[in-house]
Amino acid sequence: MEFELTGQDADTRARSGRLRLRSGEVETPAFMPVGSRASVRGLTPGRLRECGVQMVLANAYHLALRPGAEVVAQLGGLHAFMGWDGPLLTDSGGYQVFSLAGHRVITEEGVQFRSPVDGREVFLGPRRCMEVQNLLGADVAMVLDHCSPYPCDREPAEAAAERTLRWSAACKEAHGRDDQALFGIVQGSTFDDLREASARRTVELGFDGYAIGGVSVGEEEHLRRRVVALTAPMLPADRPRYLMGVGFPPDVIAAIGDGVDLFDCVAPTRMGRNATAFTPGGRVRLRNSGLRADRRPVQDGCDCPCCRLYSRGYLNHLFRVGEMLGPILLSVHNLAFYARMMTQARRAIRQGRFGQFRDGFIARYDSGKEQ
């Protein structure tokens, strides 16, 4: 993996870069749609390309449960399995083990839990987590982290951050593929000193890139922004910085200003499935009966495959009758919106005017909510 900076904003910490991975290049800042179970819901890889998607996220936890990492490997690895030949990152499943799994036993070696799918006992520790991600074969693997819930007292937050550090070291040790990058994850909940220690010690361990984890877990926006603004600058400038699970457009734009390079979030696809479109002027709810005979596209001037061909009236109809083309088309628009937002951000950074772009973007977005 190679990462080079191609631009640095004048007034903010925003930077643009180029991430070279086994399966291709990614212009950063970049947004990854979420395809936890080896599918970005309802969209083919060709459609993702049309939306301007450069890199996709899948999830080792979900794929280890079904169909199993060994099955994916038998079917040629994750790229071949899901038909996406571009850059691919697998999350380790730390977040899922600690938030989704029911009954579980946590030891130094890992977590034993009952599969929510079929009740069978599953074990996920640093070694198995790396084995799974090596078998899946994404371009980037993530260490197994212990993600604290929110709110979280200081003591358990510290314990989770410490465990994440030990597991990160074990993951680095167990990681077996030269052609797969490995990213560390900073934890520490909303405690500044824990974040600082976690960042410093994760960097000491040494990874190809660094993620800020433990955000987007229910905390208020100002806390999330503070954690990002504090943590991002502590990570090495010459390595990619990945903000996990963030977020809505203003959160993403704000974090770019703090020097974040990579993002993932279910928002564009989940909101799209729920009939909500992102536009520069805020959200548009396509179920709104006022749009029944609206000839305009979802977003004026948008050149995505949804807006080029369909009216808000048609989308309104699809959602009202429950046709699955509605969720598909609005996921397409939302992913194209995110990709365009990132393209605009990269351009603004290279031109040294990101601060102005950020403030204008957020003001316009927040002004027009629910058009």
Q: For residues 75, 76, 82 and 88, what is the CA-based torsion angle, rounded to 10 degrees? A: 140
Tell me the residue type at 138: A
Could you list the active site residues? 91, 264
CB of 296 to its own copies, least distance (A): 11
Contact pattern for its own copies over residues 41 through 70, marking x by CB under 8 A: xxxxxx---------------x---xx---
Q: Residues touching its own copies: how many (CB under 8 A)? A: 40
Q: Of the two residues 44 and 356, which places its CB atom closer to its own copies in the complex?
A: 44
Q: Of the two residues 38 and 165, which places its CB atom closer to its own copies in the complex?
A: 38
Residue 235 phi/psi, 5-degree rounding, is -90, 150
Report strand pairing: 282-285 vs 276-279.
Answer: antiparallel
Q: Of the two residues 243 and 329, which places its CB atom closer to its own copies in the complex?
A: 329
For its own copies, the binding residue among 310, 338, 354, 361 (CB under 8 A) is 310
> Taken in order 62, 249, 182, 172, is the CA torsion positive or negative?
negative
Name the token pair of 103.
């009954």
Q: What DSSP letter does each residue of 10-66 carry, written as one string?
A: SSSS-EEEEEEETTEEEEESEEE-B-TTSS-TT--HHHHHHTT---EEEEHHHHHHT
Q: Of the two residues 164 and 316, which places its CB atom closer to its own copies in the complex?
A: 316
288 lies in the binding site for its own copies (CB under 8 A): no
235 lies in the binding site for its own copies (CB under 8 A): no
Contact partners, residue 182, CB within 8 Å, separation at least 6: 140, 141, 142, 143, 171, 172, 175, 207, 208
Report strand pairing: 88-91 vs 140-142.
Answer: parallel
CB of 21 to its own copies, least distance (A): 21
88 lies in the binding site for its own copies (CB under 8 A): no
Q: Of the two residues 112 and 311, which places its CB atom closer to its own copies in the complex?
A: 311
100 lies in the binding site for its own copies (CB under 8 A): no
For its own copies, the binding residue among 293, 359, 364, 366 (CB under 8 A) is 293
Contact pattern for its own copies over residues 14 through 43, marking x by CB under 8 A: -----------------------xxx-xxx
Residues at the site binding its own copies, with contacts judged by CB under 8 A: 37-39, 41-46, 62, 66-67, 71, 74-76, 80-83, 292-293, 295, 305, 309-311, 313-314, 316-318, 320-321, 323-325, 327-329
